Structure 1
Amino acid sequence: MHGGTIDLLFERALDAVIGMDLAGRVIAWNASAEDTFGWSKDEAMGQFLSELIIPQSLREAHQVGLKKYLDTGEGPVLNTRINISAVHRDGHEFPIELSIIPVPGDQGTVFYGFLRSLQEQEHYRRQIGRRASEAEMLLGLSEQMMSAESADSMARYALRKVCEATGWPVGHLYVGDDPADPQRLLPSQVWYTASPKFDRVISHSATFVFERGEGLPGRAWAEDDVVVIADINSDGHFLRAEGFKELGLVSGFAFPVREAGRVVAIMEFFSEQPPSDATDLETFARTISGHVSVALERKNAAQRREILSRELAHRVGNSLAVLASIFRRCYRISETKEELRDRFEPRLMAIGNVHNLLTGDKVRSLTLKDLLDDALNLIPEAEKIRLSGPDLVVRNAAASALALVLHELTTNSLKHGAAQTDGAEIVVHWSLVGMDRLRFEWLESSKHNGGSTDHKGYGSVVIEAMISSSLRGSYTSELTEDGYRFAAELPASHFDLASSHS
């Protein structure tokens, strides 16, 4: 075979072909090598091969192998095919298949390497792995919808599965302050950490609240898409970098969780290593974002239905006692059958109105006073009741929960408190505290007759669930020397001033 033919085969070979002398310098570099590694032939010729394509971590082994050949005539990677990492001109590492043959010559032995990039195969391998992880997660989420005790436990499961699929050790759920119309993202207690050494990240994030576009969660919210930060230490928008750096966490990504088309939460994840393929990670995260959103939306809806169903069952069992109490009060203060009818029938209708309000997912726009009127209308003597506070519209997502709380307070008063005691009164006052809290007080001026404030009944379970979980507030309930006091603090984001809402 003529030398020209060999040169043509060498130049047109589909694999990268590289020649190296005993000093480790490049003596041959074909067109495929240019495409594979980014260095032109003119740039590569005469350079040390170790400085062009061998990763820093493998250069010492390269020098040891070359020295061993010079000393013994043998080398650990000669005349065999191995998979190893190489480095591109732009600095990124990628897998290659490599075979090296020594060729004796008049000027001494030279080496020819035949190199084939495995990036495409590695990409397909990762894609297959991602698809398997997606399928496993989808199946797991379906099972969790049936077995998980709450949406939080399902979210915790999703965090763990994403961390396991990506190899990222930390995951966290940021939640909107109002599911219907979030204004801020709040840290939750829903975390996954692969090792106790990362647990300090939980306390570090506990004080960080983000608005739209702020921090990693806020950016994912604003863009309604996956956001990947390869280096959180150099990203000026990542506000928690100092604490995360102490734990060795250098990279992060986040994706939105949607309900009814709205972003209601953000899942964020962190790693000690930068992502090997950010594009692949984004594709995976977008797919998982959709699966998690659907699963959590269905679980939340199921939880709401379960609470409403249990509440309905509770009310059916409680209705006779409530109606009997209302009837006794109406009968006591009525002088004729007509007057009794006029007093009792509106209260009977009021119970139906509250039931209608609470048994639908969609609630009409109501003010706080509307909800109080609906609940307190059960009490026959309007003169017992004094209301005071600013005119506030209750956002739809909070209306059902508030109505449940007010109805429980009214029912308790009818059975045990001021509503069934002559000369007693109910004072309800609410006010805004700063820009972010609403304070609500319910005061009864008579001692409760056989009632309980230690929250052993189902009504107290409803109040606890509505205020702590649904409304993300806090409350106290106590018997006093003068009667009964209930006080709650709720996020002001559940309300709008009536003037600004119109």
Structure 2
Amino acid sequence: MTRNTDVLWDSTLEGVLATALDAVVVMTPNGSIARWNSVAETTFGWTANEAEGCSLGELIVPLEHRQAHQEGLSRVAAGGEPHVLNRRIEITALHRDGHEFPVELSITTASTTAGEVYVGFIRDISERRNAERKVEHEAATNRLMFEVASMAADSESLDEALRKALAAICEITTWPVGHAFTVPAGNQKILRSSGIWFELRPGIADKIRRRTDEIEFTRGVGLPGTILECGAARWVTDTAKEDNFVRKDCGFRGAFGFPLKSSGRIVAILEFFSESPAKPDPGMLLIVQALGEQVGRVFERLQTHDHEKLLLHELNHRMKNIIAVVQAIAQQTFRSAKDVGDAQNVLQGRLTAIANAQDLLISKNIEGASLQKLIEGSLAGSGVDQQKVSICGPEIPVSSRNAVTISLAVHEMCTNSMKYGAFSNADGRVAIEWGIEELQESFFFSWTETGGPPVAPPTRKGFGSSLIEKGLASDLGGLITLDYRPEGLVCRFTGPAPEAFSKTPVQR
């Protein structure tokens, strides 16, 4: 920093410097500071004794503006027109501690006995800018809250809701990357990446996206697993210093996330990343969680809609398929009956059982049913000969929502077996088993057919297979395998163990 002790001054300006409410800086034509009032001392951190005689450009002009400042001085010294005199402009200035801050600047000239000087009136407008930013941020937040609330009422897709929520929160926080995990309805111990990411710049999340796909996130594992475990928002100030942050060295140092809940259950977890370490911001978390509550409404509404759609689709499927089922029952009944009267009685009983099953399938108020009773009801409702079925498994309570899904699945397997499998001839048998695999602490259910006609994998996947693979697996949070063995179909479901069950097996 250069210093020029040969400064010019005129006592007529003393009153201006002493009474001005703004910082007043007097500069000579060569750019050195001639006078520096007490407000300037407070504003810039330099005392008058330290500042006077120094180059103004080197003292308070930020580096990116210094060349323009020097060019302006040279232009005016050569007789050129000044660009900033007698105007109010907003620019940044440099404090003694090195930080830049916004100022309002107006410059005029004054004549002294020693010649003309420049008088700058400088006002720190940091508070005004902060207030403006706060108003703009609140306006943007309110706008996004309205947009997300409207989306929550109208959105027809969970994916769409997640995308809009991630984009809205990244806009509010100015964080560059957001991602959504989902939590299976039947398994609150695992997380699955939705594959939905928000990127402020294309490709910025490539590395963390790949790392996310490589890790199996369960309760307590990493940021999302911790949120799943505690059920509340979490903030990581510096990922490099967080032992349980399992996606280090992916280009992000700050992270936070929070759960989305529907009917008290965590349905998704949203997480966000910044490229620099970031201190916790409680106000930000309150805002983004309010947005999250709106998205939770989407889950609740659309899950109800999807469940109703599944039921309606199944009923439509049943109406188209029921004639074929009745025909199969009639053929088996009349083939084995002693006479027409006997056949009519048997057929009437089976048709009544089917009608009763339809009442079960459209009911949404099944309460307190056990898995055994549910399976027996579905078998009876399908019109199959229950003497051809063996059942073995512990008593397990089934919720009303899962009861409908399980009934649909068992009914569908009965229908398919009557058309193509073990129930389609006199020799076929079906073994139904369920229980707890204690080593894996998981629940299993198996349907094994034997004695029917030779089996071959289907050439196309129909509604029944989709219902079993997607509906049952999705609602119960597990996996379905269909093994089309020549000797008979084997269907096996594995999923999380129910919280309460009796280990006493039921056999029939």
Bucket of the pairwise TM-score, normalised by the shorter protein: 0.7 to 0.9
Partner of residue 197, structure 2: 191
Quick one: which amino acid aligns to residue 324 of structure 2? A
1:440-484 deviation per Cα after TM superposition (whole angstroms, max 9, x unaligned) = 332211344899734443222322321454445443434433222
1:151 aligns with 2:158: yes
Asked if 2 retains the 8 angstrom alpha-carbon contact of 1:96 and 1:115, the reply is yes
Alpha-carbon deviation of 1:313? 1.0
1:81 aligns with 2:84: no
Distance 1:297 1:102 in 2: 69
Asked if 2 retains the 8 angstrom alpha-carbon contact of 1:447 and 1:484, the reply is no
Count matched residues: 478
Distance 2:213 2:236 in 1: 21
Q: Secondary structure at the match of 1:233?
A: helix
Match of 2:495 among 478, 491, 497: 491
Quick one: which amino acid aligns to residue 464 of structure 1? E
Change beyond 3 A, Cα 1:355–1:183: farther
Partner of residue 123, structure 1: 134
Asked if 2 retains the 8 angstrom alpha-carbon contact of 1:416 and 1:451, the reply is no
Show the 5 A alignment for 1:38-117: 59-61=62-64, 63-64=66-67, 67=70, 80-85=87-92, 95-99=102-106, 111-117=120-126
Alpha-carbon deviation of 1:199? 2.9
1:383 aligns with 2:390: no
Asked if 2 retains the 8 angstrom alpha-carbon contact of 1:428 and 1:441, the reply is yes
Change beyond 3 A, Cα 1:276–1:152: same
Partner of residue 30, structure 1: 39
Q: Which runs of 5+ in 2 are unaligned?
A: 1-10
Q: Secondary structure at the match of 2:131?
A: helix
Show the 5 A alignment for 1:95-244: 95-99=102-106, 111-117=120-126, 118-140=129-151, 142-145=153-156, 150-163=157-170, 167-178=174-185, 182-193=188-199, 194-210=201-217, 215-218=222-225, 220-221=227-228, 227-229=234-236, 231-242=238-249, 244=250
Q: TM-score, structure 2 length as denominator? A: 0.75
Change beyond 3 A, Cα 1:499–1:77: farther
How much identity, in percent, do the aligned residues show?
A: 24
Partner of residue 326, structure 2: 323
Asked if 1 retains the 8 angstrom alpha-carbon contact of 2:255 and 2:274, the reply is yes
Alpha-carbon deviation of 1:129? 2.6
1:440 aligns with 2:449: no
Asked if 2 retains the 8 angstrom alpha-carbon contact of 1:94 and 1:119, the reply is no
Distance 2:398 2:235 in 1: 37
Partner of residue 272, structure 2: 269
Change beyond 3 A, Cα 1:492–1:220: closer
Distance 1:25 1:300 in 2: 73
Change beyond 3 A, Cα 1:40–1:240: same
Partner of residue 261, structure 2: 258
Change beyond 3 A, Cα 1:112–1:191: closer
1:367-426 deviation per Cα after TM superposition (whole angstroms, max 9, x unaligned) = 443332222234543332223345444455544333322221111112222123112211
Match of 2:429 among 425, 431, 447: 425
Question: Which deviates more from structure 2 when the two are superposed, residues 459-468 or residues 447-456?
Answer: 447-456
Q: Which structure's CA Rg is the greater one?
A: 2
Alpha-carbon deviation of 1:310? 0.7
Asked if 1 retains the 8 angstrom alpha-carbon contact of 2:94 and 2:100, the reply is yes
Asked if 2 retains the 8 angstrom alpha-carbon contact of 1:163 and 1:170, the reply is yes
Asked if 1 retains the 8 angstrom alpha-carbon contact of 2:23 and 2:39, the reply is yes
Change beyond 3 A, Cα 1:451–1:119: same
Asked if 2 retains the 8 angstrom alpha-carbon contact of 1:98 and 1:116, the reply is no
Show the 5 A alignment for 1:469-480: 469-480=474-485
Asked if 2 retains the 8 angstrom alpha-carbon contact of 1:99 and 1:115, the reply is no
Distance 1:25 1:323 in 2: 105
Alpha-carbon deviation of 1:233? 3.4
Alpha-carbon deviation of 1:309? 0.8
Distance 1:500 1:427 in 2: 19
Show the 5 A alignment for 1:386-425: 386-394=390-398, 398-425=402-429
Quick one: which amino acid aligns to residue 446 of structure 1? G
Distance 1:88 1:342 in 2: 96
Quick one: which amino acid aligns to residue 204 of structure 1? R
Quick one: which amino acid aligns to residue 310 of structure 2? I
Asked if 2 retains the 8 angstrom alpha-carbon contact of 1:415 and 1:451, the reply is no
Question: Which deviates more from structure 2 when the two are superposed, residues 120-129 or residues 187-196?
Answer: 187-196
Change beyond 3 A, Cα 1:5–1:250: same
Q: Secondary structure at the match of 2:297?
A: helix
Quick one: which amino acid aligns to residue 482 of structure 1? E
Distance 2:246 2:266 in 1: 21
Distance 1:330 1:103 in 2: 115
Alpha-carbon deviation of 1:205? 0.9
Change beyond 3 A, Cα 1:122–1:20: farther
Alpha-carbon deviation of 1:96? 4.5
1:203-227 deviation per Cα after TM superposition (whole angstroms, max 9, x unaligned) = 2112445556664334555676655
Quick one: which amino acid aligns to residue 190 of structure 1? I
Match of 2:487 among 482, 488, 491: 482
Q: Which runs of 5+ in 1 are unaligned?
A: none
Distance 2:280 2:35 in 1: 30
Distance 2:476 2:386 in 1: 29
Distance 1:45 1:436 in 2: 75
Q: Secondary structure at the match of 2:246?
A: coil
Asked if 2 retains the 8 angstrom alpha-carbon contact of 1:210 and 1:217, the reply is yes
Distance 2:59 2:144 in 1: 33
Alpha-carbon deviation of 1:63? 4.7
Asked if 1 retains the 8 angstrom alpha-carbon contact of 2:456 and 2:486, the reply is no
